[in-house]
Structure 1
């Protein structure tokens, strides 16, 4: 496996500005590289899963969760600025 990130754009990004989505995707790439460096082969990870976290970008914020065993960063919520 290799590390990736994912979200459901039809559910989470509906109506969000394209510039905000682009920022979220850019930061998601960075988070995925960081998780890969920290956990390496996530399929062999035996510790507890990290807690979810929030990240602020210029256009709003988002909530994400890293699951090392799945080698994935899941974007759980998108909140663009009004």
Structure 2
């Protein structure tokens, strides 16, 4: 699951190139199904960070 979380971070970096300049509302938390389970994560572009809130293994 750690590799999947790393992929989410890389995708967020590509989406928000300079998060400190982000002016919109923060995205809501999202559920992502990955092989072997599911991740719930939250991105905060303004602070240039992301949080994995829950990991569920199937």
Q: Over the residues paired in the alignment, what is the CA RMSD in angstroms?
A: 1.1
User: Unmatched 5+ residue regions in structure 1?
Assistant: 1-23
Larger Rg: 1
Between the aligned partners of 1:39 and 1:58, the Cα distance in structure 2 is: 26
Would you tell me which structure has more helix in proportion to its own residues?
A: 1
5+ residue gaps, structure 2, are none
1:73 has 2:50 as partner? yes
Greater relative contact order (Cα 8 A, min sep 6): structure 1 or 2?
1
Deviation string, structure 1 residues 32-61 (Cα, Å, up to 9, x no partner): 111111111111111111111111122211
Q: Taking structure 2 as the reference length, what is the TM-score of the superposition?
A: 0.84
Residue 35 of structure 1 aligns with which residue?
12
> Which structure dedicates a bigger proportion of its chain to strand?
2
Helix, strand or coil at the partner of 1:61: strand
